[in-house]
Amino acid sequence: MVTDQTVGLSWDDRFRDFDARDRRKGKKASAGGPGKVEEILGLETVGELLTWYPRRYLDLDAVDSVHELVAGEQASVVVEVVGATVHTYQDKRTGKRRFRTEVETRLAEASLWMTFFDPYESMAKDRVEKLHRGRRVVASGRAEQNRFKKQRWELIQPFIDEAETGFSLLPVYKVGGALTADEVRKVVRPVLDIVTDVPERIPTWLRDEHGLLDAATAIRWIHRPEDRRQVGAATKRLKFDEALVTQVAFALRRREQAEVAAEPRTGRDGGAFDAFDARMPFDLTAGQRAVEEEILADLARPHPMRRLLQGEVGSGKTVVSLRAMLRVVDSGGQAALLAPTEVLAQQHHRSLTRMLGDLAKAGELGADDAATKVALLTGSMPAAARRAVLLEIASGEAGIVIGTHALLEDVVQFADLGLVVVDEQHRFGVEQRAALAAKGAGRTPHELVMTATPIPRTVAMTVFGDLETSSLTELPAGRSPIQTTVVPLADQPAWFDRVWARVREEVAKGHQVYVVCPRISGDDKDDDEVEPPLDEEERKGPPLAAVEEVAPALEEGPLAGLRVGVLHGRMAPEAKDATMQAFAAGDVDVLVSTTVIEVGVDVGNATAMVLLDADRFGISQLHQLRGRVGRGGHPGLCLLVTGARAGSGARTRLDAVASTTDGFRLAELDLELRREGDVLGSRQSGARGGLQLLSVVKDGDVIEAARAAAARLVDEDPVLEGSPALRREVERLLRSDMAEYLDKA
């Protein structure tokens, strides 16, 4: 019976202050179990505790006799302890004394043994004390047959838990430090029994439409399921919850943005856009035309475009963005192209100027009437040149301005900034893009963000939820296939020589080759723009390849007689530019570099790429890098040289890259191999950030459904008056770290 002292707990109460048992006695809770859960997991309120969902469930019905055990496989059983003994032995490697505890238990009339190994006697003693005769426990671990006594089955170092009757699924919680799943369960259960107000964030009509449980039932079933069906139904409902909150936040953002004013840029007849159209050396692909139409329609609206353009390296994004820039120039505005590196900014400047021809020669003799000026601003420019460029930008003389971070400085003032194009979005932070957008002199410029790292649609919807997305999925005709091969030095050391022989063959055919290393010099602590490795695998073998060591070694050794150039991020900008120009002109046969060549670099005669210590690069990065070869109509070759052993995570990644050139497929694989947290940022995958059950990898359909529902909800009820619980959660999300994450869009 419920008395006034056991009245329920509210969702926002601190569960630590209301330990159910103590409350019945009319006193505040001690720090005990709840305190530990709060400290270790960082959960404070009842709501936070109850949205700390189990990660999995142990199926206690699965094995109910010793005969059902399978050697080498995990098993969970409910057993009764018969007795325990501790044996000492000497660790062969360290010579230290160690402790082995053997526990005999009963499982359906037969004996089942548990074996534990401990470094300290106190730990072993502790076990023996806990596993006293007659205690019923749940044990789960790997089953093995004893090597000497074949009849004897054992669980090796199993996980032990309190056994309870009536429930065949035991929830297992993520724990940390000195906290066990059992302790979490002990705190969750009483709270679950007396919580009174689980907030309902999904309107009834929407629940009905998608066949979703109500919130209170879902919370109860996720923590205390009677069977798998309940787990399934609860999970379905709670995933939708997570997706809906995020998508409503995005829908509100989009609505807000739709109210910001921007200058429509519709171009004009007979302007630079038309003139460029007439002299383009190729036709746009159908995909490019479709994307262009979307962009031009956006530019014509009185609200800022916020569009993400994704497409593989070489899919023709730059051409499309140039045409958008010309449209803005024709409307009397300016366009800025923000590039992540100096090398890339310079290259964009060269190639755009070349593509535009006399359309880029405003003010010069014989220039086209519609011509504009293309300015380049980088950090390393001499003061006088820099002043001149700043003036061209401020006066509006430069219709197209290309630059690096230098464009973001305060001194850079535009006459009328109408469009910001950000190349390779992932290299820029939120503040940086915001700084550039703020240069619109009171008016918000349109924004086009380009990325060559294909993003699966579900991620785009979750991470870039308030950007419209366009994708270029085909490569322009005439692109040659790239053959990618893994060169596993761990298994085939002799292949190393073969790699350099292959490089010589390419050069003998008149082609050029890239050699990419993860480091600049041998004593580098940090790599030059290399993504951190996805997992911390122990790395054996020689130190990582470094540009400054590899280049001379190749010149004196296997590539003697070839012209070898060097490029990395620590070189002076003029030196970098000179090297790139020499490579582009064919004056360098082999370019040894770091990943500075990753983005945008375009040398058609380069046909092969050797990636040293390829396991140090991420999937997307490898895919990007190899996109540098096979661009000029010659088939491309990419050799992924690695010391990683067959079967390792690193090799799996490399094999994946070798197996397909489909960037979208690789982006998905990349996602599958990463933990969810790496995709969304670690905080976002925790209880507080909102995404616990929802997987951006696997729950695309849920995300889509939630996105549609969110749009409808926000359309019909923009301030969410009818869904206060939802509104509260969205507000909490927007206030939290997630706000930053939403802004990354």
Nearer to ligand ADP, 313 or 614 (CB): 313
From the list ligand ADP, Mg ion, none, which binds 459 (C-beta under 5 to 8 Å, kind-based)?
none
3-state secondary structure of 486: strand
* Interatomic CA distance for residues 378 and 380, integer angstroms: 6
* Interatomic CA distance for residues 680 and 685, integer angstroms: 7
For residues 666 and 482, the answer to whether their CB atoms sit within 8 Å is no
> Which residues have CB under 8 Å from 226's CB, separation 6+?
167, 168, 169
Q: Which of 454, 460, 418 is nearest to 439 (CA)?
A: 418
- Is residue 341 near Mg ion by the rule CB under 5 A? no
Nearer to Mg ion, 218 or 601 (CB): 601
415's tokens: 């006459």
Which residues, 301 to 320, sit near Mg ion by CB under 5 A? 318
Nearer to ligand ADP, 247 or 288 (CB): 288
If one counts every other C-beta atom within 10 angstroms of the C-beta of residue 656, the result is 18
Nearer to Mg ion, 488 or 600 (CB): 600
From the list Mg ion, ligand ADP, none, which binds 316 (C-beta under 5 to 8 Å, kind-based)?
ligand ADP
Nearer to Mg ion, 600 or 689 (CB): 600
From the list ligand ADP, Mg ion, none, which binds 304 (C-beta under 5 to 8 Å, kind-based)?
none
Nearer to ligand ADP, 10 or 581 (CB): 581
From the list ligand ADP, Mg ion, none, which binds 311 (C-beta under 5 to 8 Å, kind-based)?
ligand ADP
> Which residues have CB under 8 Å from 491's CB, separation 6+?
645, 646
Nearer to Mg ion, 235 or 318 (CB): 318
Min dist CB 666 to ligand ADP, Å, is 16
Place of tokens 């003389």: 397
For residues 266 and 446, the answer to whether their CB atoms sit within 8 Å is no
151's tokens: 């009849």
From the list ligand ADP, Mg ion, none, which binds 282 (C-beta under 5 to 8 Å, kind-based)?
ligand ADP
Nearer to ligand ADP, 265 or 350 (CB): 350
From the list ligand ADP, Mg ion, none, which binds 284 (C-beta under 5 to 8 Å, kind-based)?
ligand ADP
> Which residues have CB under 8 Å from 4's CB, separation 6+?
none
Min dist CB 594 to Mg ion, Å, is 19
Place of tokens 């939120």: 430
Min dist CB 321 to ligand ADP, Å, is 8
Q: How far is CA 714 from CA 251, 252, 391, 466, 720, in A?
A: 7, 7, 45, 14, 7
Binding site for ligand ADP (CB under 6 A): 282, 284-285, 288, 311, 313-319, 476, 602
Looking only at Cα atoms, what is the longest distance across the chain?
101
- Residues in a beta bridge with 367: none
Min dist CB 471 to Mg ion, Å, is 15
Nearer to Mg ion, 247 or 310 (CB): 310
3-state secondary structure of 715: helix
Min dist CB 314 to ligand ADP, Å, is 4
Min dist CB 317 to Mg ion, Å, is 5
Q: Which of 676, 652, 742 is nearest to 248 (CA)?
A: 742
Question: Residue 565 is inside which H or E element, if any?
Answer: strand 564-567
From the list Mg ion, ligand ADP, none, which binds 684 (C-beta under 5 to 8 Å, kind-based)?
none
Binding-residue pattern over the window 172 to 201 for Mg ion, x denoting contact by CB under 5 A: ------------------------------
Min dist CB 40 to Mg ion, Å, is 47
Min dist CB 576 to Mg ion, Å, is 18
Give the count of residues interacting with Mg ion (CB under 5 A).
2
Nearer to ligand ADP, 253 or 327 (CB): 327
97-107 and 110-118 beta bridge pairing: antiparallel
Which residues, 600 to 659, sit near Mg ion by CB under 5 A? 600
Min dist CB 78 to ligand ADP, Å, is 59
From the list ligand ADP, Mg ion, none, which binds 285 (C-beta under 5 to 8 Å, kind-based)?
ligand ADP
Min dist CB 421 to ligand ADP, Å, is 11
If one counts every other C-beta atom within 10 angstroms of the C-beta of residue 584, the result is 18
From the list Mg ion, ligand ADP, none, which binds 394 (C-beta under 5 to 8 Å, kind-based)?
none
From the list ligand ADP, Mg ion, none, which binds 120 (C-beta under 5 to 8 Å, kind-based)?
none
Min dist CB 533 to ligand ADP, Å, is 26
Nearer to ligand ADP, 1 or 477 (CB): 477
177: left (phi over 0), alpha (psi -120 to 50) or beta: left
Question: Residue 225 is inside which H or E element, if any?
Answer: none
169-172 and 306-311 beta bridge pairing: unpaired
Nearer to Mg ion, 246 or 425 (CB): 425
Q: How far is CA 671 from CA 77, 449, 451, 453, 612, in A?
A: 34, 21, 17, 12, 24
Give the torsion through C-alpha atoms of 88, 93, 94, 95, to 10 deg.
50
Binding-residue pattern over the window 574 to 603 for Mg ion, x denoting contact by CB under 5 A: --------------------------x---
For residues 613 and 546, the answer to whether their CB atoms sit within 8 Å is no
54's tokens: 């189990």
Residue numbers at the binding site for Mg ion (CB under 5 A):
318, 600
